[in-house]
Structure 1
């Protein structure tokens, strides 16, 4: 997918979702404007993504569980599950090392939510998937390698 189309889809989808949330009164207009962090999603290196998140000093943790296939037959839709047993989990961020856009997803969680997410991600080639979890104001990380037989991302 080219950059211009990706940006148009991100803007259109984001605007529609936030407009619905604002219209229903679940989110204030100020919160809707502040919710998207372009620096995080536009990072083109792993270090850049970590810097944008403020997670350069993330510590390894075995309390983060990543469910991914060892071999992904099709990189266009790789199933991913993440759960955290870290107390006071605030955020879960998925970073895919070899993708053109490193941050694939970011989930901000409230205290009443179960710290578990399931989604599908695109992967351009065999690579490491890093999951960053922000818990109690600190970042923790877990990593899992995935072999991709047919890539799903274009530059």
Structure 2
């Protein structure tokens, strides 16, 4: 059987559309899945992490965020309302003088910024901060 150029384009377009529908449930629970992958399903306790983000961000393109957790091995930063919630994971070695990081993130809409810290003893701690965005930063 021979395929015309139109047949190949139609089949390819159909495959792309089908693949996008298959991945939609993953986007709906992206934050929970990212946390579960980071923690390995272990319980996360609130507190023990300092998360600093502005209460109101006039422009969602560059929102400054600082996070620290004394005794942390790594800290994962999430933007719960973004299409891709995982923002960054910071890893700290034994020679780091402090377990802190700062960055600028892009936020689509008003949402929670979440930090999950893996402590040296294997436990996990969290902090959450709501940032009100007046102009979205993810092209929305």
Q: Post-superposition, which runs of at least 4 consecutive aligned residues in structure 1 deviate over 3 A?
A: none
1:71 aligns with 2:35: no
Q: Deviation at 1:54?
A: 2.5
Q: Tell me, what secondary structure is at the counterpart of 2:34?
A: helix
**Counterpart residue number, 2:125:** 140
1:96 aligns with 2:79: yes
Deviation digits for residues 98-117 of structure 1 (CA, Å, limit 9, x no counterpart)? 00111101111102211010
1:106 aligns with 2:89: yes
Larger Rg: 2
Q: Tell me, what secondary structure is at the counterpart of 1:52?
A: helix
- The count of aligned residue pairs is 110
**Counterpart residue number, 1:58:** 44
| Superposition RMSD in Å | 1.5
Q: Tell me, what secondary structure is at the counterpart of 1:111?
A: coil
Contact in 2 for aligned 1:70/1:146 (Cα 8 Å): yes
Which consecutive unaligned segments of at least 5 residues does structure 2 have?
1-25
Q: What is the TM-score of this pair, normalised by structure 1?
A: 0.66
**Counterpart residue number, 1:117:** 101
Deviation digits for residues 70-104 of structure 1 (CA, Å, limit 9, x no counterpart)? 0001100100111112x2x1001101110011110
